[in-house]
Structure 1
Amino acid sequence: MAARTTREVSFFLLSFLSLCFALRAASQTLSNDEKRILLQIKREWRDQPVLASWNDTTTSSYCAWTGVGCAADGSVANITLSGQTTPKISQPIPNSLCSLRNLSYLDLSYNNIPGSFPTSLYNCSSLRYLDLSQNRFVGVIPDDVDRLSPLLTHLDLSSNNFSGDVPPAISRFPAIQKLVLNSNLFNGSFPAEIGNLSRLQTLVLAYNPFAPNIIPPEFGNLTQLVFLWMTSANLVGEIPPSFSKLEALVQLDLSENSLTGTIPAGIWALQNLVYLYLHRNNLSGPITIDGTIGALGLERIDVSMNQINGSIPKDFGKLLNLSVLFMYYNRLSGEIPASIGLLPLLYDLRLFNNGLTGVLPPELGKHCPLWNIEVDDNKIFGELPDGLCDGGALTSIVVFNNNMSGKIPPSLGSCSTLDNIQVQSNSFSGEVPDGIWSAVNLTTMIMRDNAFSGGLPDELPWNLTRLDIKNNRFSGQVPSSAGNLVVFLASNNMFSGNLPSTLTGLSRLQSLSLGGNMITGTIPSDLSVLKSLVDLNLSHNQLTGHIPVAIGSLPVLNSLDLSANELSGSIPTAMANLKLNFLNLSSNQLSGEIPAGLQSPAYEQSFLSNPSLCAANSQLNVPACRRGSSGGLSRGLRILFFVLGGLVFLMALAFSVFVYRDRKKRSNGSDPAVWNVTSFQSVDFTESNIMRGIKEENLIGSGGSGNVYKVDLGNRAGETVAVKKIWSSRKLDSKLEKQFQSEVKFLGSIRHKNIIKLRCCISSPDAKLLVYEYMGNGSLDRWLHGKRAAPLHWSTRLEIAVGSARGLCYLHHDCSPPIIHRDVKSSNILLDMEFNAKIADFGLARMLVKPGQLDTVSVIAGSFGYMAPECGYSRRLNEKVDVYSFGVVLLELTTGRRANNEGEQCNLAEWAWKQIQEGANLRDAVDPAIKDSPQMDDITTVFKLGLRCTESLPSRRPSMKDVLQVLMRCNRPRGDDCKPCAERDVAPLLSSKTGSRRKGSPNDGDEKSLACNV
């Protein structure tokens, strides 16, 4: 018996060992097969750099290779080679990929994979997750796409170049839960059969140029749908009533389409709905909601920019979780329900541009943390509620263009969070509460066209950048201290006394308007420090004395009005240096001859009612200057003129000798033959002054289009210029020469404070010299990345960003024809001694034939790290290539990294997108030099703006006008106590959803847009 038991145990052990050996052999065979397939994939992918670790000579398991994930049995189950973290793959998908029989997860997003839809993936029978987004696929999605694995739960084909229809086969994946097709070029239709995907939780069809399509009623069958995004999908017709069945829906976004009709009442019964975006459609009809609305968990309502009419239902007051209510740009009428003032969580209320009447809810702000109220452009009357700031969060009041009256509530004087007040064009009266004038966070105050009275404090809030109080009844003296004012508009009030001498301390001031007051005394003499001043209006006062000579040295002054005063003396000759679009010196007591540079027909109405003025130009409406005869000159004067004439003759003779020697030297072969000088402004130098400075020791920079030299002219003014020498090795034919001369003349005519001034062009058949103003602080690249550069404070970086954006905005939107720079980078943003930014290097710029028409470019231009993706595959580019490059500059400013990301595997834009997509803490991405800045909200907002500018699709990028608007809203005066810019201010650009209309542009005029040409 014992022997039998022993034999049985022995047999069992032998069987077990045999099985183990068999399993081990099978496992070894599987391992060998999987490794062989991976190495085959690497060969078919032509040894892409990302696959460097896929190497048979390494001792590590293939399961540890880059992007490879294995199941418990050692089979490859996961391939993740997203280009966000690695060098991008630029070859088609290998056929051998599906030889990995257990492959269930494939992520090849953010690469440059070309070609048509990869039908080779039909053989991946175990595939559950497929992400091919952000690549370069083209053509149609095949009609048999359902041959992909029936196990598929996730399919993402977004941000490619697929076109045609979305085929009905896309709806034949029984297990699909997430279908993402946004940001392609689909120009056909999408199938109603998608409504049959009973397990679908996410459906994204946004940003496609579909042919006009209705929303299929069948979509109402997607009862497990949580997220529906169909922005800008060319939708027409009405929202189907069947949407009331989407009970799991949390976000519904149908914005930016052409939908019509009413909002189905059933939508308000969706108890899980948190985000509702229906703006920019043609919806009409009143909003109707049923009695169940009080039970909903709705937190945000955005039905703005439609054509909704009727009144706001009183039952909105039952939405106890409502924090955001956007219903702007509609046709609403009637009163704002008083019950809205009782909502406990209301944070942001925007009802502007409707036809609302009545008063604001009296309890508004008393029961909630109200942050922003915008009800402008309605017919609201009555006073501002007294408790708007009781919640301690109010930053912005925008109520202009209504019929409101009464005084500003005294309680607002103790509202420490207040940042933005816009109450213009109403009937407000009385004095402004003292506390408002001392509000530490106040930056924008627009109160024009009311009946306010009283005086201004001697010292305005330090953070205040825009104060517009035109057309009121303010009196007393002009404030002597205005901190960081950029715009001060106070015309048509009752101010008196002298202009304070401290006015010259407003170094950031761009616009000063004090016309139509009772100001006396003289104009302060030292105005030369106001280097940012663009617009100066002191007309219709009682000013006396002379016009200060310093006015002629204001570098960007564009408009000057000193009319209707009692100014006397001559007009300073230096004023002829100004590039004025508007000048009015009429109705004064000025005398003498008008400077020759101002004797232009453009100023024919500028000198009226000055009896003692005269001019040689008969086109001006002033008397001609009388010239005395030669016999009338005294003997002493004649002797003086004779001596001076002799000196001039001797100087001319000496100059002739110098020129002769210089030409002789050049004839010996040391210089190009004959130089032709084309000046674009008055210059006090010759080509000889320039040529002497073109030598190696003066080289300060070089690039793809030439070298740059710093040249000290040695003239009377002691000027220094920057000279760019281009095309030194080839001659141009006559056609190209004419094109070059035409483009240079156009660029030389540009006048903008944020664009480098091209003073002249010196050319010969062999070389071109572009003479620019010299910028003492060099390039932004030097300050961000130079080894010896001191770190820039955030406030300085932000002002550099604003200045650069202004320059590009001017080129794109205010030049005719528009100009594409095509090589925007930090080394082409130059800084003067006060760190004012100017855009430089137009050697690569090309002009559009017509405004808005695409530019056909014959060569690829740009710099690595800054070039938009379309530069690599398209020859038809528009101004969005500059927007992309500027976005990289914004990322440089916020992260301190180089555009090539310090030689890492991905460039800066790719690295930044990775931080967002991986949910990284943005504080960790910020440049350590500014990480402790109190304006961290500003920094992260500008970082996200940089991301928006570097979207892969040009259509997704904002315009430079939009970029400038965001930067201006974030811009704050320098100092550690600056108030951060909340991201909500710029949400329209950062999220494509919605955002505050907090205005406050430093430009006078319509607050709804920012001009580029300041």
Structure 2
Amino acid sequence: MSKLPFPFRKLGLPLLFLSLLSIPFCVISQGQATDELAALLNLKQQWGNPPALQSWTSSSPTLCGWPEINCTGGSVTGLLLEDMNITEPIPPSICDLKSLTQLNLSWNYIPGGFPRALYNCSKLQILDLSQNYFVGPIPSDIDQLSGLTYLDVGGNNFSGDIPAEIGRLRGLQTLNLYQNQFNGTFPKEIGDLANLEVLRMAYNDEFVPAMIPKEFGQLKKLRFLWMKQCNLIDGIPESFSNLSSLEHLDLSGNALTGGIPGGLFSLQNLSYVYLFHNQLSGALPTSISSKNLIEIDLAMNDLTGSIPEDFGTLQSLRLLNLFWNQLSGHIPVGIAQLPSLIDFRVFDNKLSGVLPPEFGLYSPLEAFEISNNNLSGELPKTLCTNGVLLGVVAYSNNLSGQVPESLGNCNSLRTIQLYNNNFSGELPSGIWTLLNLSSLTVSQNSFSGGLPRKLAWNLSRVEISNNRFSGPIPAEVSSWSSLAVLKASNNLFSGNVPEELTSLSRLIVLSMDGNQLSGELPSKIISWKSLTSLNFSKNNLSGQIPAALGSLPDLLDLDLSDNKFSGVIPPELGNLRLTTLNLSSNRLGGRIPDGFNNLVYENSFLSNPDLCAGDPMPNIRSCYTRSSKSNKVPSKYLALILVLAIAAVLAAVLFALFVIREYWRKKLRRDLATWKLTSFQRLGFTEASILSNLTDNTIIGSGGSGKVYRVAVNDLGDYVAVKRIWNSRKLDWRQEKEFAAEVEILGSIRHSNIVKLLCCISSENSKLLVYEYMENQSLDKWLHRNKRASTLKGSSPRRALLDWPTRLQIAKGAAQGLGYMHHDCSPPIIHRDVKSSNILLDFQFKAKVADFGLAKMLAKHGESHDMSAVAGSFGYFAPEYAYSTKVNEKIDVYSFGVVLLELVTGRQPNSGDENTSLTEWAWRHYVEGKPITDALDEEIKEPCNVDEMATVFKLALVCTSRSPSTRPPMKEVLHILQKCSPSDGKKVGPEFDFTPLLGTATYLSSYRRSKKADDSLVYSA
């Protein structure tokens, strides 16, 4: 000791003493680490050694280095076991970790009730059990977890009441109870949580209907309140004006009534207000002093009065949704001057006055939707000043003047909807060629000018009817390659119809009626294989009706009336399965083709004096008249001539059949070697039996890529359906792509509600897909084409009508097939072309989803897939196609919603009214408060099924919501359809109150198993 330097000599004994004391402390610390290691390894074993925890071994140098472990002072304080594929309950031994303060077990598959074993974790502060499979009630003794500051049990299956004892967890700062199956009540004692900052209770719509407790107004520290779809009733408590820290308020999708508390918009920290789709009434608060407001969504209520001028002072406001209310008066000028405004939607109100001229000048405006109001004046010239405007939706107002030239330079635009206004002059020339424009609808105005020689590459819909457009159809129309809909009725177009118009392969609807077109229709039709509706009525067209029209495989509606066509009606038209046909008021003569010689088409040929009918038809003379006796050949000679003629014909036919049979037998033997058969099922036939029966007599239909045959495979009456994709040279890239997609998908999936692909047979220049045969063909033939008279041989019009129970069963079957594709296939499958013609029916009317030529395998569940171009069928398109080619399963949900509307209304997808689709018509019918029963199909509506039909009608509206995120997943759609006609025979109960869903139709189900997110992402889901 004496050898130590002086300063240390005085400290020597204390230091020695302290060093001796440290020896047992080190031993204790080492012992604790050993205990914690043993506890963790025991925990891993009790969970069945999940692969994600393979790094937990006794040989690890230190457990505090494990990524799932947080340590403080050498002790385990945190277990971060999110998304570890844990499937076993939480063992009591977890609390052997004596210092544990944080436990995150979210995004696993843990079953059982609330884990009371955690009560022994005395230091626990943060507990996250979200997105698991917990069931049963939240226990009433949950207050034993007295140290909790964060509790998340969202995304589980807890039920019953939320206990009042939860209000005793006085240290709670975050409480997440969202998306469970609570079917009881929630307590007012939550208002006692004085430290609570975040409360999420959304998507618990099975709560007993209840008012928001006024005690919630005591939560002075509350920043985030999310009670969307919680079955809330009555008004918003005035005490909410005391929530001085509130930043985010979402009470949407409930049944709240009354006015909005006047002090709510005076909360200084308030940034987000979502009260859409309630039953709020009265005027908006006129005094708004919260300068932090970023988003206000008060849409789909019953608000009246004017838009407060104070909205124009909200300098941080990015979103203002006030649509579907009863607001009147003018739009405050200050709103147009807001520097951050991105989304402005006030459509479907009673607003009037002139639009403020500065919209878009000061802010990055993207959405501008003001349709269905009484607004007047001109469109603001500054809408696209910042170059990010996506859509101008201003139809059905009293707007006038010319469309601003600036819109012709706005390449970000994807849709322009200005129909039903008083605009005049020419459209800016740049609009026709905007880089991203996909939809241009300007019908019912006074626009003039001619058609452009060039269209935007992505422009698929052009509607310019009821204007003053004039001039010829340019020959350069052949470059309009993406065009699917061209409606140009009732204008002043003149000149011939160029053959180049028939080269538009994607064209679905062409309406040029009510113009001054002349000359003949092109005799050669190049590429109209997708055309379903053709209308050239009320023009000056002449010459013969082109026989080539009879080769259009999908044509349903043909109107050539009020022209000067002459000659005979081409017999080829009889090959079409038309829903409507009108050739009236022409100069046609000769005999009506046999396919049209029935009462279904009795009004299709009026005012053609030289036409005659083989069978009696009203207003059409018979082709047979009595001859005089002097001109008759004696009957005995007639009989002899007839016998000889028949004998000669039979001999010739037999000889020809023999020659043909030998030819094809030899050819088949030569060609069989070039065919390759790939089977997906056990087959009872060979490729030879298929190939030898592909004749015109076995054709039962045709589509965009080939013909469909019904082929007998044995003598027992068993058939298969054969889809032939044929090209005399080689398949083009699109057909190759469709073929590969269909084989890839159907060859790998098995489901009773998905059409069974038996095999594929391919050669160098032809490919065959062989399916099980569906006796009753497609749903659309029963819903639409058979209404006028059955197109099925041997059926009467009455027998061809589907009753409601059958329609409901078809809906369930199709939903089961799509649900399997979306939720049970890995990776999931989107169909992309769901429509009634792709739902096939077997002999028992069991539905099966078919035609996967456009389907795509998604790389990962929940992720959107980028498509190079819009595909599918017009009338079934989801609205996001107007803005983006990013698609996911929700586009199938939308299309299926259209099918549901077809089933309950009997209408076709494009038959809303003059300017709307079936979806738009149904939504307007609902929003305007008209009785749903008025929209139902009168031919099948009975008192016993009205409730079920009304439920399906509402479900269809939910499925066709504008926003993809607000549409339910197919498993939820199927659940509701199954409850419509339960096995116990009980009628549809109150659980199908769609009031909180319609409008935004918001569901969280798609969020349930998506990756976790922060507060904003959780809300946006």
TM-score normalised by the chain length of structure 2: 0.70
1:941-993 Cα offsets, whole Å, 9 max, x none, are 9898638799xxxxxx877449999xx9xxxxxxxxxxxxxxxx998334789
Given the superposition, is the C-alpha separation of residues 861 and 701 from structure 1 closer, same or farther in structure 2, using an over 3 Å criterion? farther
Q: AA paired with 1:25?
A: V
Bigger mean CA offset, 692-701 vs 619-628: 692-701
Q: Which of these residues, 21, 24, 45, is aligned with residue 43 of structure 1?
A: 45
Q: Which residue in 2 is equivalent to 1:529?
A: 527
State the shift of 1:584 in Å. Answer: 1.4
Q: Which residue in 2 is equivalent to 1:329?
A: 324
Q: Which of these residues, 285, 289, 297, is aligned with residue 288 of structure 1?
A: 285
Bigger mean CA offset, 595-604 vs 355-364: 595-604
Q: Which residue in 2 is equivalent to 1:931?
A: none
Q: Which residue in 2 is equivalent to 1:808?
A: none
Given the superposition, is the C-alpha separation of residues 230 and 581 from structure 1 closer, same or farther in structure 2, using an over 3 Å criterion? same
Contact 1:283 1:307 (C-alpha < 8 Å) held by counterparts:
yes
Q: Which residue in 2 is equivalent to 1:977?
A: none
Given the superposition, is the C-alpha separation of residues 832 and 840 from structure 1 closer, same or farther in structure 2, using an over 3 Å criterion? farther
Q: Which residue in 2 is equivalent to 1:357?
A: 352
TM-score normalised by the chain length of structure 1: 0.70
1:340 aligns with 2:335: yes
Q: Which of these residues, 985, 988, 999, is aligned with residue 963 of structure 2?
A: 988
1:436 aligns with 2:441: no
Contact 2:281 2:303 (C-alpha < 8 Å) held by counterparts:
yes
Contact 2:387 2:410 (C-alpha < 8 Å) held by counterparts:
yes
Q: Which residue in 2 is equivalent to 1:1002?
A: none
Q: Which of these residues, 195, 199, 202, is aligned with residue 198 of structure 2?
A: 202
State the shift of 1:513 in Å. Answer: 0.1
Q: Which residue in 1 is equivalent to 2:225?
A: 228
1:169 aligns with 2:165: yes
Q: Which residue in 1 is equivalent to 2:442?
A: 447
Q: Which residue in 2 is equivalent to 1:183?
A: 179
1:700 aligns with 2:704: no
State the shift of 1:172 in Å. Answer: 1.9
1:55-134 to structure 2, matched below 5 A, reads 55-56=57-58, 58-59=59-60, 61-63=62-64, 68-83=68-83, 86=84, 88-134=85-131
1:88-129 Cα offsets, whole Å, 9 max, x none, are 322222222222222222222222222222222222222222
Given the superposition, is the C-alpha separation of residues 858 and 544 from structure 1 closer, same or farther in structure 2, using an over 3 Å criterion? closer
Given the superposition, is the C-alpha separation of residues 828 and 429 from structure 1 closer, same or farther in structure 2, using an over 3 Å criterion? farther
In structure 2, what is the Cα distance between the partners aligned to 1:345 and 1:400?
A: 25
Contact 1:698 1:711 (C-alpha < 8 Å) held by counterparts:
no
Q: AA paired with 1:314?
A: E
Contact 1:475 1:495 (C-alpha < 8 Å) held by counterparts:
yes
Bigger mean CA offset, 828-837 vs 123-132: 828-837
In structure 2, what is the Cα distance between the partners aligned to 1:614 and 1:30?
A: 104
In structure 1, what is the Cα distance between the partners aligned to 2:81 and 2:882?
A: 28
Given the superposition, is the C-alpha separation of residues 862 and 394 from structure 1 closer, same or farther in structure 2, using an over 3 Å criterion? closer
1:787-809 Cα offsets, whole Å, 9 max, x none, are xx99999xx99x999xx9xxxxx
In structure 1, what is the Cα distance between the partners aligned to 2:274 and 2:379?
A: 29
Bigger mean CA offset, 649-658 vs 606-615: 649-658
Given the superposition, is the C-alpha separation of residues 125 and 423 from structure 1 closer, same or farther in structure 2, using an over 3 Å criterion? same
Q: Which residue in 1 is equivalent to 2:888?
A: 946
1:823-838 to structure 2, matched below 5 A, reads none
Given the superposition, is the C-alpha separation of residues 297 and 64 from structure 1 closer, same or farther in structure 2, using an over 3 Å criterion? closer
State the shift of 1:852 in Å. Answer: 8.7
State the shift of 1:473 in Å. Answer: 1.9
State the shift of 1:330 in Å. Answer: 0.7
1:193 aligns with 2:189: yes
State the shift of 1:865 in Å. Answer: 8.8
Contact 2:332 2:356 (C-alpha < 8 Å) held by counterparts:
yes
Q: Which residue in 2 is equivalent to 1:644?
A: 649
2:134 is paired with a residue whose SS is: strand
In structure 1, what is the Cα distance between the partners aligned to 2:818 and 2:668?
A: 28
In structure 1, what is the Cα distance between the partners aligned to 2:267 and 2:181?
A: 32
In structure 2, what is the Cα distance between the partners aligned to 1:701 and 1:830?
A: 9
In structure 2, what is the Cα distance between the partners aligned to 1:594 and 1:858?
A: 43
Q: AA paired with 1:95?
A: P
1:842-921 to structure 2, matched below 5 A, reads 851=808, 866-867=823-824, 897=859, 908-909=860-861
1:740-787 Cα offsets, whole Å, 9 max, x none, are xxxxxxxx9xx896999975475779996532314579xxxxx9xxxx
Q: AA paired with 2:78?
A: N
State the shift of 1:212 in Å. Answer: 0.9
Given the superposition, is the C-alpha separation of residues 947 and 62 from structure 1 closer, same or farther in structure 2, using an over 3 Å criterion? farther
Contact 1:520 1:544 (C-alpha < 8 Å) held by counterparts:
yes
State the shift of 1:841 in Å. Answer: 8.2
1:840-860 Cα offsets, whole Å, 9 max, x none, are 8899x9998663999599999
**How many residues end up aligned between the 2 structures?**
832
1:135 aligns with 2:113: no
1:607-643 Cα offsets, whole Å, 9 max, x none, are 2233333333335653333399888999999988754
Q: Which of these residues, 279, 292, 301, is aligned with residue 306 of structure 1?
A: 301
Q: Which residue in 2 is equivalent to 1:610?
A: 608
Q: AA paired with 2:560?
A: L
In structure 1, what is the Cα distance between the partners aligned to 2:755 and 2:587?
A: 50
Identical-residue share of aligned pairs (%)? 39
1:471 aligns with 2:466: yes
In structure 2, what is the Cα distance between the partners aligned to 1:301 and 1:833?
A: 60
Q: Which residue in 2 is equivalent to 1:730?
A: none
Given the superposition, is the C-alpha separation of residues 140 and 353 from structure 1 closer, same or farther in structure 2, using an over 3 Å criterion? same
Q: Which residue in 2 is equivalent to 1:772?
A: 722
Given the superposition, is the C-alpha separation of residues 757 and 46 from structure 1 closer, same or farther in structure 2, using an over 3 Å criterion? farther
Q: Which of these residues, 261, 274, 278, is aligned with residue 275 of structure 2?
A: 278
Q: AA paired with 2:280?
A: L
2:542 is paired with a residue whose SS is: coil
Contact 2:419 2:443 (C-alpha < 8 Å) held by counterparts:
yes
Contact 1:532 1:555 (C-alpha < 8 Å) held by counterparts:
yes
Q: Which residue in 1 is equivalent to 2:32?
A: 30
In structure 2, what is the Cα distance between the partners aligned to 1:238 and 1:893?
A: 47
Q: Which residue in 2 is equivalent to 1:812?
A: none
1:505 aligns with 2:455: no
Contact 2:752 2:817 (C-alpha < 8 Å) held by counterparts:
no
In structure 2, what is the Cα distance between the partners aligned to 1:61 and 1:825?
A: 57
In structure 2, what is the Cα distance between the partners aligned to 1:356 and 1:839?
A: 58
1:615-673 Cα offsets, whole Å, 9 max, x none, are 33335653333399888999999988754331224467899999xxxxxxxxxxxxxxx
Contact 1:690 1:713 (C-alpha < 8 Å) held by counterparts:
no
Q: Which residue in 2 is equivalent to 1:902?
A: none
1:352-399 Cα offsets, whole Å, 9 max, x none, are 111111111233344444333211111122332344334444342222
State the shift of 1:718 in Å. Answer: 7.1
In structure 1, what is the Cα distance between the partners aligned to 2:336 and 2:454?
A: 36
Given the superposition, is the C-alpha separation of residues 213 and 771 from structure 1 closer, same or farther in structure 2, using an over 3 Å criterion? same
Bigger mean CA offset, 360-369 vs 332-341: 360-369
In structure 1, what is the Cα distance between the partners aligned to 2:81 and 2:671?
A: 53
Q: Which runs of 5+ in 2 are unaligned?
A: 746-750, 780-803, 829-835, 840-847, 869-879, 902-909, 911-959, 969-998, 1001-1021
State the shift of 1:304 in Å. Answer: 1.0
State the shift of 1:592 in Å. Answer: 3.2
Q: Which residue in 2 is equivalent to 1:669?
A: none
Given the superposition, is the C-alpha separation of residues 403 and 11 from structure 1 closer, same or farther in structure 2, using an over 3 Å criterion? closer
In structure 2, what is the Cα distance between the partners aligned to 1:50 and 1:430?
A: 68
Bigger mean CA offset, 23-32 vs 92-101: 23-32
Contact 2:173 2:198 (C-alpha < 8 Å) held by counterparts:
yes
1:249 aligns with 2:246: yes
2:276 is paired with a residue whose SS is: coil
1:260-303 Cα offsets, whole Å, 9 max, x none, are 1111121111222222111101111111232x63x612222211
Given the superposition, is the C-alpha separation of residues 234 and 573 from structure 1 closer, same or farther in structure 2, using an over 3 Å criterion? same
State the shift of 1:503 in Å. Answer: 0.3
Q: AA paired with 1:946?
A: N
1:621-636 to structure 2, matched below 5 A, reads 621-626=619-624
Contact 1:701 1:707 (C-alpha < 8 Å) held by counterparts:
no
Given the superposition, is the C-alpha separation of residues 868 and 177 from structure 1 closer, same or farther in structure 2, using an over 3 Å criterion? farther
Given the superposition, is the C-alpha separation of residues 296 and 378 from structure 1 closer, same or farther in structure 2, using an over 3 Å criterion? same
Given the superposition, is the C-alpha separation of residues 102 and 836 from structure 1 closer, same or farther in structure 2, using an over 3 Å criterion? farther
